[in-house]
Amino acid sequence: MILIPRFDVDEVMNLLSGFEDITFFPAVPTMISALVNHPRAEELGLDRKLGLLNSGAAPMPVEMIEQVKDMGIFFSEGYGLSESTALGIANPILGLKKAGSIGIPFPDNDVRLVDLDDGKTEVPDGEPGEICMKGPLIMRGYWENSEETSAQLRDGWLYTGDIATRDEDGYIFIVDRKKDMVIAGGYNIYPREIDEVLFQHPKVADAVAVGIPDEYRGETIRAYVVLKQGESVTEEEIISFCREKLAAYKVPRSIEFRTDLPKSAVGKVLRKILREEEERKRKGPL
């Protein structure tokens, strides 16, 4: 097992150059994007070095999944939380994999998708519901925090706060975090769907859609975009691109270009930081 103190793509590429075979490489989408788009990716032959590239911690855009597959890299995606000992649902390593799906439940791990309002009624296939899990993988509770435990664990079921759908084969597809859902003009909007479209733009390297306060609609969508090196594009071009692929009420109303996006220590984009920035702007100086 090779441990590194932090993710720096150049350092990781140098490290990979010294090994012929990495059996298992777990990563998050931000790390994977940095690796496969690195100038040395082809030179190092990542398809020969990586036995299995596994993505977790955040949904991986389908556009990126297809890019990884086109490079010949053996890839799988799964889902879990600290509260489920990092496991829960995954695409079978040697079985059917569906692009954009987190797969099927681990053995002995029960999974239900329940109504977002009542938290009890199971939703039919194709309808969004909150992921609830129960089984030997699930924690007994939060240490010395009975209040939080009772909020997350109900009758042995872990309420994850993640919204997903299930298809006819039992494969589960993440829609978004429950707390990230945007209600704009009475419509429920899942920012991840917008993220997927933004990643399809050929000049976009990284992007995230966020719900921000709006006096008329209640909330509205703003997209934060990082362009690929050397590229340029206008706000209207990005919005027009989204109009071609999204319903009108889902199209971002504004675009903010950035050199990078706020991320956690493991590389997850932090929507809450962007929301907090917007709230501070609205409040103005103290």
Stronger pLDDT, 266 or 178, i.e. the higher one: 178
**Confidence at residue 275, expressed as pLDDT on a 0 to 100 scale:** 86
Which residue, among 186, 255, 249, has the nearest Cα to 225 in the 3D structure?
255
Task: Indicate the number of domains in the chain.
Answer: 1
Is 216 part of a structural domain of the chain?
A: yes
Distance of alpha carbon 208 from alpha carbon 274, whole angstroms:
10
Distance of alpha carbon 191 from alpha carbon 250, whole angstroms:
8
Q: What is the mean pLDDT of residues 221-250?
A: 94
Is 149 part of a structural domain of the chain?
A: no
Is 139 part of a structural domain of the chain?
A: no
Percent helix, percent strand, percent coil in the chain, to nearest 5:
30, 30, 40
pLDDT tens digits along 56-111: 877 788 888 888 888 888 888 889 988 999 889 998 888 888 888 899 999 999 99
Determine which of 7-16, 87-96, 134-143, 177-186 has the lowest per-residue pLDDT on average.
177-186
Is 76 part of a structural domain of the chain?
A: no
Is 47 part of a structural domain of the chain?
A: no
User: Mapping DSSP to helix (H, G, I), strand (E, B) and coil, where does residue 41 land?
Assistant: helix
For the cut 90, the answer to whether the pLDDT of residue 247 exceeds it is yes
**Confidence at residue 285, expressed as pLDDT on a 0 to 100 scale:** 58
pLDDT tens digits along 22-45: 889 888 888 888 888 888 988 888
- pTM to 2 decimal places: 0.73
Q: What is the CATH number of the domain that holds 243?
A: 3.30.300.30
What are the structure tokens assigned to 36, written together? Answer: 């496969």
Is 209 part of a structural domain of the chain?
A: yes
Q: Rounded to the nearest 5 degrees, what angle is found at the Cα of 212, between the Cα atoms of 243 and 252?
A: 10
pLDDT tens digits along 173-199: 988 888 888 888 778 888 888 998 999
Stronger pLDDT, 281 or 16, i.e. the higher one: 16
**Confidence at residue 96, expressed as pLDDT on a 0 to 100 scale:** 86
For the cut 70, the answer to whether the pLDDT of residue 286 exceeds it is no
Distance of alpha carbon 102 from alpha carbon 43, whole angstroms:
30
- The confidence band for 219, taking pLDDT boundaries of 50, 70 and 90, is confident
Distance of alpha carbon 35 from alpha carbon 37, whole angstroms:
6
In this prediction, what percent of the chain has a pLDDT beyond 70?
99
Structural domain of residue 226, as residue ranges? 181-283
Sheet (strand 50-55) strand order: 22-27, 50-55, 75-80, 88-90, 104-105
DSSP string, 215-252: TTTEEEEEEEEEEPTT----HHHHHHHHHHHS-GGGS-
8 Å CB contact between 171 and 159? no
Is 129 part of a structural domain of the chain?
A: no
Is 77 part of a structural domain of the chain?
A: no
Q: What is the mean pLDDT of residues 254-278?
A: 87
In this prediction, what percent of the chain has a pLDDT beyond 90?
45
User: Mapping DSSP to helix (H, G, I), strand (E, B) and coil, where does residue 159 land?
Assistant: strand
**Confidence at residue 104, expressed as pLDDT on a 0 to 100 scale:** 95
Distance of alpha carbon 248 from alpha carbon 117, whole angstroms:
26
Residue type at position 199: F
Tell me the pLDDT of the chain averaged across its residues.
89
CA 16 to chain centre: 25
